[in-house]
């Protein structure tokens, strides 16, 4: 009589592990995940949950290893890719994080968490490019941010600033205007709008007055 081997943990085991993570019992969750992985080493979800626990302990390198192990078992695992991106971003590895998020987005283009996370990494990378004077590359990244999150006043403003540095004043004005429409109290958008207007020899006194009329944030 043949025998079958169970290769996946049961639902109760998974739910118990998730409950430990959700309740903040990270140390117990990690030890439980390791114990279950000892029994079910080919279960990708366990490696992801272990990674979540390790990340909660601040152990990012082991967390990254766990997420990569899950992906070795299941390359199209969106949660593993997204969590990998989160851990890599915390390590300051923005390019690798963007690659992980992009992989997840290819699998689930409408996933709001992945879109948000990828947009955030692009924005942070754009800031670094600005500081290095790489305005063309920064502009390309902020366009990607706006494809992911169109109603983003901060990205619209930064895109406009990059365009100003590249001489694209008209488009910069349009971006500043859109940012102001989204967030009327964003001072920097008004200020850059005034600068861009001045560069085109347009009357901009009323724009500056509008800036002065905005109540200061206490």
Q: How confident is the model at residue 210 (pLDDT cuts 50, 70, 90)?
A: low
User: Contacts by 90-95 with C-beta closer than 8 Å and gap 24+?
Assistant: 90/55, 90/60, 91/60, 91/61, 91/64, 94/121, 94/124, 94/125, 94/128, 95/125
Nearest to 196 by CA among 154, 159, 161, 151: 161
The pLDDT value recorded for residue 198 is 79
- Is it the case that residue 193 has pLDDT exceeding 50? yes
Superfamily per CATH, domain 119-218: Tetratricopeptide repeat domain (1.25.40.10)
What are the tens digits of pLDDT across the range 30-89?
999 999 999 999 999 999 999 999 999 999 999 999 999 999 999 999 999 999 999 999
CATH of 9-109, one of 1.25.40.10, 3.30.450.30, 3.40.50.300, 3.30.70.360: 1.25.40.10
Domain ranges of the chain: 9-109, 119-218
Q: What pLDDT, on the 0 to 100 scale, is given for residue 216?
A: 43
Task: Output the pLDDT for position 195.
Answer: 86
Question: What's the mean per-residue pLDDT of the chain?
Answer: 90
State the pLDDT confidence band at 205, using cuts at 50, 70 and 90: very low
Domains 9-109 and 119-218 share a fold: yes
**Which is higher by pLDDT, 193 or 101?**
101
């Amino acid at each position: 009589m043949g025998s079958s081997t169970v290769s996946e943990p049961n639902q109760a085991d998974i739910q118990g592990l998730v409950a430990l993570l959700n309740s903040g019992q990270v140390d117990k969750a990690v030890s439980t995940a390791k114990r279950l992985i000892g029994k079910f080493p080919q279960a990708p979800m366990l490696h992801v949950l272990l990674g979540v626990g390790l990340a909660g302990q601040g152990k990012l390198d082991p967390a990254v290893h766990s997420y990569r192990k899950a992906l070795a078992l299941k390359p199209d695992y969106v949660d593993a890719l997204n969590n990998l991106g989160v851990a890599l971003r915390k390590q300051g590895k923005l390019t690798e994080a963007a690659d992980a998020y992009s992989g997840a987005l290819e699998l689930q283009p409408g996933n709001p968490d992945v879109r948000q996370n990828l947009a955030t990494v692009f924005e942070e990378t754009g800031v670094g490019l600005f500081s290095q004077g790489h305005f063309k590359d920064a502009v390309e990244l902020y366009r990607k941010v706006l494809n992911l999150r169109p109603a983003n006043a901060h990205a619209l403003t930064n895109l406009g600033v990059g365009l100003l540095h590249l001489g694209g004043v008209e488009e910069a004005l349009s971006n500043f205007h859109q940012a102001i429409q989204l967030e009327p109290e964003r001072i920097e958008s008004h200020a850059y709008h005034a600068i861009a207007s001045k560069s085109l020899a347009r009357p901009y006194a009323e724009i500056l007055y509008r800036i002065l009329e905005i109540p200061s944030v206490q």
